Structure 1
């Protein structure tokens, strides 16, 4: 940013136009759903970090901050490269033609995880991507227009609370490798997280993952989860590891997100997570959208599924898929409104008729619902706020 500096009687003055532009940097809107009440950096003055190093310092310290991203911050190469043994899992049936190999993180490259046909191979990856930046509490991280990009590294939120991440594009985190790194990950001790109008693309592992410790209250809204990739675990240019919600005591709202060109985990839900998935748009999913494990509790309403092969892979927990106008009246006990029907075009069916669990969120902040729409794709992601 350029400053116009004037000297009056020995005092250094900043041009009023510059002050006005800085003053305009602020979080826009408020979250709906479970993260209602999050304030992030609050009234802290918004500042633009001068470098990757300063951005890292501001993200990790214990100071309430409003951090403005008005350009690309590239973490690739900041921690060097690793060359070591990894593996080619059984899932990679298209080596050299767009498959995804794996880093041997947590000794994953063994048959019980990587499949009976796993082969040891050498992998070379960027070390910065493997572990996210550990954020401190009370932060607002906001992008300017469509210029705010964090490349090569993600964020980790554990033992940190009251965080807003808005209008940022996270990209290129070792996309060629399973276990290449997550874009945003939460864990035990976190609470009140709002991720809004962000874009996720070319991520090696999860675009968003919550768990396995309690991550508290989360709202994911107006985000674009772009699964288009040249390295696909399912060998079809679609990303498999999109969204995984597996916290031990989490309540998650997903509203107005555009989730496209994925092949699985969009999202996968488990352990003890309550998910309200409302008014999202899934497009071109060659595998499954929802996968509900034991302990997962999901209400899905007002969503639009277009060209989604399997909207729900399995339900080992509790799942309500808003199957009919008569059945949808059950939502009122917990959500305060009758659920809205989902829409399916060139897609499988959702199913899910469990209702007893819905009342467990009675009295908590719940996102509103409207009719399912494809217009979500025109409103979600960076630069559209």
Structure 2
């Protein structure tokens, strides 16, 4: 027995170390209290089929990614007629060293595909895996270790309550084509009829996608936090013909409520994020302590049926922090005492550096709407800062 004792100690030590590595901390903001898979025994997928099965089944799970899971080529490719929109034709004519995106046609053809009403027909080829995302059901934690947890070629369709996605990089979703694939898609559960609750996306990275980093629609999600994440728009296929991704975030949905805190959003050219603008939308958002940089177009695109508090954010080298318009409602904090009468606390000013103006739009209306949410009124934002990425894990800040 003495001969085996050092080995036993080593095995126990390794088990303890690995167990502690899955500690996810706790969500701030509207998703506070999210537990995901809780204390379920961790599982380690090594194949695409295992990852799909673990995420979709009906039991609580802690799913640990310690390798790259690559879906590209696993479901074949499709070659069909697509659309070349005017902005892609203009990019080709510029011959400035950048490439633009062609478009996968939606049901109804060019007349029913955004940007293609004056498009020309072109043949497109895409990887099928990115078109159909993996389904993530209730009570799941998907956690990457260090910088090893990478999903290539397929995104995630969140379709349940109490889900944590942490420290995972989603990338390579048909970046050459609009409608090539979303990294995160949310429409609510029960076929999009019921709003989801307790969704926490933390320390994720998204890059090189064909469509959105994240999109919500239909019944959507009523308690979500997006935190400490890196949304990287650098691409060699850009609708704006400048190496920056345009289709970044769309927040539609009938009951969309989310906190977006401590994220790094960079090298985009639009929709960073787009909020509201749809007749059936009802979007309330707290967007605090994020860092926008190297954005050649607009960041915020605020539409009807949206109410937003934006505070403590830092914009650097951003042409239009807010797209010009009159729709929607957003309070963009400029001083520390303006929120007291609504929230019972001070707001933290946003900061712009080498960027356009960022101001309120129907600000009092926005504050009146968000004040009833204790996760917003009780939040303690920090001063605006330029975030820097860590090399120890994905996103902003080192995980515990």
TM-score, length basis structure 1:
0.91
Q: Per-residue displacement from partner, 1:139-170 (whole Å, max 9, x unpaired)?
A: 00000001110000000013x11000000000
1:243, distance to aligned residue in structure 2 (A): 1.2
Alignment of 1:27-106 (within 5 A): 27-92=23-88, 93-95=90-92, 97-106=98-107
Question: Which residue does 1:384 correspond to in 2?
Answer: 398
SS at match of 2:387: helix
The 1:341–1:193 alpha-carbon spacing in structure 2 relative to 1, beyond 3 Å, is same
RMSD: 2.3
Gaps of 5+ in 2: 190-195
The 1:349–1:66 alpha-carbon spacing in structure 2 relative to 1, beyond 3 Å, is same
1:85, distance to aligned residue in structure 2 (A): 0.7
Give me the whole-angstrom Cα distance separating, in 1, the residues matched to 2:255 and 2:109.
Answer: 26
The 1:14–1:363 alpha-carbon spacing in structure 2 relative to 1, beyond 3 Å, is same
- Asked if the contact 1:302–1:340 (Cα under 8 Å) also holds between the matched residues in 2, the reply is yes
Alignment of 1:1-385 (within 5 A): 15-92=11-88, 93-95=90-92, 97-107=98-108, 109-110=110-111, 113-158=114-159, 160-189=160-189, 190-270=196-276, 271-313=281-323, 314-330=325-341, 333-334=342-343, 336-352=344-360, 353-361=362-370, 362-366=372-376, 367-377=379-389, 381=395, 384-385=398-399
- Asked if the contact 1:169–1:382 (Cα under 8 Å) also holds between the matched residues in 2, the reply is no
The 1:323–1:108 alpha-carbon spacing in structure 2 relative to 1, beyond 3 Å, is farther
- Asked if the contact 2:390–2:397 (Cα under 8 Å) also holds between the matched residues in 1, the reply is no
Gaps of 5+ in 1: 1-5
SS at match of 1:16: helix
Q: Per-residue displacement from partner, 1:68-105 (whole Å, max 9, x unpaired)?
A: 00010001111110011111111212238411111113
Aligned length: 373
1:248, distance to aligned residue in structure 2 (A): 1.0
The 1:378–1:71 alpha-carbon spacing in structure 2 relative to 1, beyond 3 Å, is closer
Q: Per-residue displacement from partner, 1:277-327 (whole Å, max 9, x unpaired)?
A: 000000011110000111011111000000111111134111111133453
Comparing 143-152 and 374-383, the one that deviates more: 374-383
Give me the whole-angstrom Cα distance separating, in 1, the residues matched to 2:112 and 2:224.
Answer: 35
Give me the whole-angstrom Cα distance separating, in 2, the residues matched to 1:304 and 1:383.
Answer: 17
Give me the whole-angstrom Cα distance separating, in 2, the residues matched to 1:262 and 1:363.
Answer: 30
SS at match of 2:340: helix
Q: Per-residue displacement from partner, 1:8-54 (whole Å, max 9, x unpaired)?
A: 9xxx9993244224322323221110001111001111121131111
TM-score, length basis structure 2:
0.88
Whichever structure has more strand as a proportion of its residues is 1
Give me the whole-angstrom Cα distance separating, in 1, the residues matched to 2:80 and 2:271.
Answer: 28
